[in-house]
Amino acid sequence: MSQGAAALPGDPPGGRRAVAVWGLGVGVYFVAIIFRTSLGVAGIDAAERFHINASALSTFSILQLLVYAGMQIPVGLMVDRLGTKKVLALGAVLFTAGQLAFALSHTYGTALASRALLGCGDAMTFISVLRLGARWFPARRGPMIAQVAALFGMAGNLVSTTVLARLLHGAGWTATFGGSAAAGVLVLLLTLLFLKDHPAGHEPPPAAHAGGRGSVRQQITRAWREPGTRLGMWVHFTTQFPAMVFLLLWGMPFLVEAEDLARETAGLLLTVIVLSNMAVGLVYGQIIARHHAARLPLALGTVGATALLWAAVAGWPGAHAPMWLLVTECVVLGACGPASMIGFDFARPANPPERQGTASGIVNMGGFVASITTLLAVGVLLDATGDDYRLAFCSVFVLEALGLSQILRLRTRAQRREQERVVASRVETVHVPAVSPGSTA
């Protein structure tokens, strides 16, 4: 067992109760992902229903990402101050209301507002689930818990591409989106009835918040000053966005229009990314849980492999890249999501429990800012080059180079700080006197 996997004083015990409570939180996240990705299978139907062109349709995705990214730090502060249960419940209310409003929308403006509301609720789920896992499981389980949570998120994506897609063409728009909102109501009720912020006997110490803007600014500043938080953000920034851009908007048009594939074949390639994500997530989680030092090599290896395959497809001398190369690229893109989760493993040990939500929000914002930037850059370059996808996709290398330079700049500083905390924790443990069960500390 590596150093990073050692048991820590005051660790929660885990066990079946922890799995049940955490699983409930993951269920909320699972439903949020179904709602988030439901538009991906309804693009053609949405264009017809709201009488919009492709540019207006892409605004749905960009707006959702903007809302999601903009909410990350506020949500992190909310989780730290209000607790997981309240934030998850509020998130379920918002994304369920957004999905239901989307089902009933008949105008583009109303639909856009509905997706923004949905994105606001969706933004409250993942950070809450990370905090829930940290409260209920030992620290050594953190990497695996985070990867499994992300795996269930990808499972929600699969539900959208299979179940909702069939329902949409069978039951119609209102019935499909309105009916799916019932899942949001269900997880909201379960959250209110059964979810607990932490196990008995492991209550976090009361956080002394002075209130007002000053304390909020101080909370963010302290999290940001930690090299581990910034390193985690740049890892998330550099690893997540290539797959996000491909899955969320530009993958299908590229495969159909530039690579001349049938829509069914292109859809299968996108499914390969999702399945690869789920498989790689389990592998990365196990590796990091056993070998804490593997975090950075895995992240950098994923960035390198992604850049290599992206360059191979973009620079292929023929008119169309061969199928084997496209499949390989999709398999490698599937590793981007699990690699982005490594960012949280740098921020988690760098911050005390009362700052975990804020730090996670900063990290999570990184990948979505990169995704928004690339979505816009690809669109602008497509317009400027007459739909030259290969040239437009070169914008990916610019952001990868930026992120990689920041990772290399911060890695030594973050590792040094982490080693200092480990040493301080051991010294503190040695000097803490034993307390009998009947006494008070």
Question: Mind listing the pLDDT tens digit for each residue in 358-405?
Answer: 898 899 899 989 998 888 888 888 888 888 988 999 999 999 999 999
| Residue 137: predicted pLDDT | 86
DSSP 26-74: HHHHHHHHHHHHGGGG-HHHHHHHHT--HHHHHHHHHHHHHHHHHHHHH
Q: Decide: 299 and 319 in contact? Cβ < 8 Å.
A: no
Query: For residue 78, with 0-12 CB atoms within 10 Å meaning exposed, 13-18 middle and 19 or more buried, which class applies?
Result: buried
Angle formed at CA 89 by CA 93 and CA 40, multiple of 5 degrees: 55
> Where on the phi/psi map is residue 435: left (φ > 0), alpha (ψ -120 to 50), or beta?
beta
**Spatial distance between the Cα atoms of 85 and 196, rounded to a whole number of angstroms:** 7
Q: Residue 361 is encoded by which pair of tokens? A: 């929000």
Q: Residue 239 is encoded by which pair of tokens? A: 């690893």
One-letter amino acid of 124: M
DSSP class of residue 422? H
Question: Mind listing the pLDDT tens digit for each residue in 1-60?
Answer: 344 444 454 567 778 888 999 999 999 999 999 998 887 777 778 888 998 876 677 788
Angle formed at CA 270 by CA 378 and CA 370, multiple of 5 degrees: 35
Q: Residue 347 is encoded by which pair of tokens? A: 């921020």
| Residue 134: predicted pLDDT | 83
Q: How many CB atoms lie within 10 A of CB 334?
A: 22
**Spatial distance between the Cα atoms of 108 and 135, rounded to a whole number of angstroms:** 42
| Residue 4: predicted pLDDT | 41
**Spatial distance between the Cα atoms of 209 and 223, rounded to a whole number of angstroms:** 15
**Spatial distance between the Cα atoms of 143 and 52, rounded to a whole number of angstroms:** 43
DSSP 1-29: --GGGS--TT----SHHHHHHHHHHHHHH
| Residue 324: predicted pLDDT | 96
Written as tens digits, the pLDDT of the chain (441 aa) is 344 444 454 567 778 888 999 999 999 999 999 998 887 777 778 888 998 876 677 788 788 888 988 898 899 889 888 889 999 999 999 999 999 999 999 999 999 999 999 999 999 998 899 889 888 888 777 778 888 888 888 888 888 877 887 888 788 899 999 999 999 999 999 999 999 887 876 666 655 554 555 577 888 899 999 999 999 999 999 999 999 888 877 888 889 889 999 878 887 898 899 889 989 988 998 898 888 889 999 999 999 999 999 999 999 998 899 999 999 999 999 999 999 999 998 998 888 877 888 898 899 899 989 998 888 888 888 888 888 988 999 999 999 999 999 999 999 998 888 787 766 666 555 554 444 333 333
Angle formed at CA 340 by CA 335 and CA 341, multiple of 5 degrees: 105
| Residue 6: predicted pLDDT | 45
**Spatial distance between the Cα atoms of 73 and 347, rounded to a whole number of angstroms:** 14
| Residue 401: predicted pLDDT | 96
